[in-house]
Chain A
């Protein structure tokens, strides 16, 4: 039974177009692309030689990792998540103490962690050098390496775990943390997700021929959700992170509140009907969105903006159609809709959390970031949604409610409803 309202009090972000909440806010407002050409992908004969990789300075490394932690650290997802998680914690005004905090936990997801570390280990093992793997091979390559690392840094004594549900991971993590707080099992949860960068994560997608190969000379133009010329998703990486806590706890601590999590839904299409390992069952998608509204206690008229999953594939029109049917809205009545993937590409397991951070910034500051590379909207989408609802420039707009959904391989879905928090609304 739901007993506690849940609010967001801290944000952290490591994205391919900016690292840190303030630079990221500016980047998504101005439509800065994080997609670049990477010569190692060319050397390895990838079809798609572009991707999104966050730039991490040594100064930033020294802020968040000790010299010892940096030794032999090859797990890029752990680096991104380690930074984003600690940034969110500090942003929420939480201290790191010597005491363990039994009321704070972590749900921080990933797809695969530390592939570059695994690669190093495989080579050493095959060279009969297993004894020389060192002490961090396990810590950098276990999926829960990220939640374990953050748990130790922050001294969290509640549940500390890692979830994994492909591209749904980040949104699922928020909803799992939300459940834990609303049911009274924790006061605060650090939630988020991270994804490694580079050829050993992206190779499998290149092999599936679902990445664009036409933009190696024009990387910034490649990620085109909702565009007529969408040619596949651009692989990316990074991490988004949020501190969520009971409204009671936030008010007690007297910290600023970014937004409220009203509720949501997680489901699966069971790989039935049109659903498969790689494609969603539309009935389940619609049901996920509808149930999220019910859980949140809002009507479809209340949705001001959809922060969509939209990856820039042939499935974009299907996703828009599913939103339209689930909300019973179309044309000029359809909410505004945008996709962060036009800025940073598809950060896979980190996509949901990065996009949630962008949604929360839109809510709290009153803007809608532009959809990039979408000069010509796909005609199938224009049949459903009026063009003005797909902003291509920054819109200053007071928003009250955003719906955010993520869909992932395995036919899994998650949809969450976020609301702007106002001081007048304090009944915990």
Chain B
């Protein structure tokens, strides 16, 4: 799966948790979940669970800690998909 496809899927996943619509509309790979999209930090665990369901992968705590931006999250997902 290409990074672009993953990012598009990720955009759909994070939408319900976003509290900054403009930054969401202009989402890029550099977008930060908490600072730019203003996702409540407690909801990051929900993003991770939704990612697991969407891509049928399992994300461990170490990887979860890295998933704070679109780019980092896409990277984690891509690696997991490669080793599936």
User: What is A's interface to B at a CB cutoff of 8 Å?
Assistant: 67-68, 71, 132, 134-135
Which chain B residue lies CB-closest to A139? B42
Given A67-B16, A135-B43, 4 other A-B residues pairs in contact with their CB atoms under 8 A:
A134-B46, A134-B49, A135-B45, A135-B46
B24 within 8 A of A: no
* Cβ-defined contact, B45 with A134, below 8 A: yes
- Our count of residue pairs bridging A and B at CB distance below 8 angstroms stands at 15
Which chain B residue lies CB-closest to A71? B16
Q: How far is the CA of A67 from the CA of B17 in the complex (A)?
A: 9
Q: Which of A67, A68, A71 has the most CB of B within 10 A?
A: A68
Q: How far is the CA of A386 from the CA of B40 in the complex (A)?
A: 61
Contacts of A135 in B (CB 8 A): 40, 42-43, 45-46
What are 15 sample pairs from A and B whose C-beta atoms fall under 8 A apart?
A67-B16, A68-B16, A68-B17, A68-B43, A71-B16, A71-B46, A132-B49, A134-B45, A134-B46, A134-B49, A135-B40, A135-B42, A135-B43, A135-B45, A135-B46
Q: How far is the CA of A216 from the CA of B67 in the complex (A)?
A: 53
Q: How far is the CA of A216 from the CA of B40 in the complex (A)?
A: 46
SS of B interface (majority):
helix
Closest 10 interchain pairs by CB? Answer: A135-B42, A68-B16, A135-B46, A135-B45, A134-B46, A135-B43, A67-B16, A132-B49, A134-B49, A68-B17
Size range of the chain B interface in the assembly: under 10
Contacts of B43 in A (CB 8 A): 68, 135
Instruction: Give 1 or 0 for each of B3-35: 1 = CB within 8 Å of chain A CB.
Output: 000000000000011000000000000000000
Q: How far is the CA of A87 from the CA of B82 in the complex (A)?
A: 51
Which chain A residue lies CB-closest to B42? A135
Q: How far is the CA of A134 from the CA of B45 in the complex (A)?
A: 6
Q: How far is the CA of A135 from the CA of B43 in the complex (A)?
A: 6
Which chain B residue lies CB-closest to A138? B42
Contacts of A71 in B (CB 8 A): 16, 46
Contacts of B17 in A (CB 8 A): 68
Nearest-Cβ distance from residue B47 to partner chain A, whole angstroms: 9
Nearest-Cβ distance from residue A129 to partner chain B, whole angstroms: 10
Contacts of A132 in B (CB 8 A): 49
Q: How far is the CA of A132 from the CA of B49 in the complex (A)?
A: 7
Q: How far is the CA of A68 from the CA of B50 in the complex (A)?
A: 13
Which chain A residue lies CB-closest to B41? A135
Contacts of A134 in B (CB 8 A): 45-46, 49
Q: How far is the CA of A67 from the CA of B18 in the complex (A)?
A: 11
Which chain A residue lies CB-closest to B60? A131
Which chain B residue lies CB-closest to A134? B46
Contacts of B16 in A (CB 8 A): 67-68, 71
Q: How far is the CA of A71 from the CA of B49 in the complex (A)?
A: 13
Contacts of A68 in B (CB 8 A): 16-17, 43
Q: How far is the CA of A67 from the CA of B43 in the complex (A)?
A: 13
Q: How far is the CA of A134 from the CA of B49 in the complex (A)?
A: 7
Nearest-Cβ distance from residue B19 to partner chain A, whole angstroms: 9
Instruction: Give 1 or 0 for each of B53-84: 1 = CB within 8 Å of chain A CB.
Output: 00000000000000000000000000000000
Q: How far is the CA of A37 from the CA of B45 in the complex (A)?
A: 39
Q: Which of A67, A71, A135 has the most CB of B within 10 A?
A: A135
Nearest-Cβ distance from residue B24 to partner chain A, whole angstroms: 13
Q: How far is the CA of A133 from the CA of B42 in the complex (A)?
A: 12
Which chain A residue lies CB-closest to B53? A132
Q: How far is the CA of A68 from the CA of B19 in the complex (A)?
A: 11
Contacts of B42 in A (CB 8 A): 135
Contacts of B40 in A (CB 8 A): 135
Which chain B residue lies CB-closest to A66? B16
